[in-house]
Structure 1
Amino acid sequence: MAESASIAEELRAQAGAAARARVIVVLGPTAGGKSDLAMELARRYDGELISADSMQVYRGMDIGTAKPTAQERAEIRHHAIDLVDAHEEGFTVAKWLAVAEQAITEIQARGRVPIVVGGTNLYIRAFFEGLDEAPAADSEFRAELAAISSEKLHARLGASDPTAAARLHVNDRRRVIRALEIAHATGETATERRTAWDDASVTPRRGDLFTVILDWPVELINRRINARVRRMFDGGFIEEVSTLLSRGGLCPQARAACGYEELIGALGDMTRAPRQVDIDLAAESTKIRSRRLAKQQRTWLKRFRALRPGIAIECADDATAINLADACEVVLARA
């Protein structure tokens, strides 16, 4: 027993030494246990967490984005959350990347381990490979688009790039115009550019990354998603969205977040109490959309499975943050 404990302690020490020279990145599908694993790694290796979730930047969007609780934030320091109010427009991936890079610098200066938890495809892409070399703004073309109504702009995008149009809210003029502008300048739709990136191999711009990928069988991740959505709707999500709407509403980007868009539609104009049938429909729609998101995430995460040093873990039904962290520790000790 003593020898076994000694080996475990030595392994933990080796992994800790390796971790202090690394930026750990935890990736996986929505509801896949990324945050729980990241918390356990932070406890073991004196780490701090950096969120790579584009919706956790908004204040007040807590339950629907599975934001860390007050207790978790008191235990482990978190970065890149609660950066702007939900009604504020104009938060970009470039702004997030600047926050994340600054956080990494400060965390490492304290002798601690940065742990990035992701997250949003675009944010992870920018973190690994830098910002996309998108064409510069075309002032003349943009002025032409500015004179068109939001509905017609969205319809125009839908005609050329239905996938992007389905992803963007009709009132998200800034991003709709940018998608049209990029297609006008490059001859490629936003979806074509994204697909090309999804199919390419990853070339990290940093050499100090240790990547952890959590992969789940479809049946299990769908079950976890359904359970999370039930907890959301039973645990104050309706009150959270009602409060946000009463305090200035949500900007188009925040409003389009999974679960929020569906529930806002069910709440209507807030002049009457929502019908339970509408709430139930919003919950079911959120489950469906979340499962589709997880499928998309599994597709683009395949690009990261070959990255070294790193580990891809095939998760089972009994997976816990502790045994997942144990698996990471074995590989990290050799990194």
Structure 2
Amino acid sequence: MKERREFCIECRKDTEYNLQKKDVVKIIRGKEYTFSITVAVCTECGEEMSIPGLIDKNVQEIDEQYRAAEGLVSIEDIEKLMKIYKIGKAPLSLALGFGEITIPRYLEGQVPSKEYSDVIRAALTSPAFMKEKLNANKDKISDAAYRKAMEAADSIEGLFSVSDKMLQVIAYIFEKLEEVSPLVLQKLLYFIQGVYSALYGKALFQEECRAWVHSPVYPEVYELFSDFKYNPIDDARFAMLDGAADALTKEEKDVVDLVVNTFGMYGGKMLEKITHNEDPWKEARKGYGDNVPSSELLSKERIMKYYVEINKKYGIDTEAGLKTYIYDMINR
């Protein structure tokens, strides 16, 4: 670890220091707040030290805590909104019904009023609300900006065609893996459903799975990412789901971790081979030729029954057990 040293005014020499948290009380707009800021403390005399960059950090800490206390959007929230709707800062201001320079000022650090913050947050969480604002202020922005933002809003509404739990799991998978193709995502969701239901006796998400030619598929998820085909998913819409994975329980995250750390090591074709060697998919595809399309139900109950048996044999609550199972399926 790199040694922290700086000049201590009290000791009159360079000394080591530790970073600690300290509560400070400030009055903002006539209201008292207690903020937790970072301070540097000399290890020799115990006095606070002035460290380059620390004042800027304290300003940022106070700003973030003040916004959180008052329920105000952050600069990152506004940047996220611009990214999601593919719209510039001035057009966004006008589209939301603000003055043209309002959003630029917020991006420079000006704190929004609660009223304006609530409008921005509503646009960030509801594509329907954003569409209302775009239509109400259509004459104030260019046709190109309006069209791009409306197309983005229509696309975002597709996210709500799947359950919250499914979105949370997908968001967590994206956090864990740098690149995920639609093909790999489908397989990981199937394995997550199987492992979770075997370990906890219930399905993790409500969506039903179908036996397509190339293995199990959740049709609603397929529709969300069909544009990416076999390419890694790079989707601005998922900026809306930043933090969504936090709603998962420890048990749910543990299962996703198990699957990602084992099945997630393989590409789509290898994962496809594993599912093709599993009983539920083989039963659902019985009577179909290799390239004949099908959409037979792979029910949550059948998936759970299969993985309960697999758990008895392999102990799939551990990475070692899952890896052994995967090896056997690949080499069957």
Shorter-normalised TM range: under 0.3
Higher RCO by CA contacts (8 Å cutoff, separation 6 or greater): 1
Structure with larger Rg: 2
Q: TM-score, normalised by structure 1?
A: 0.24
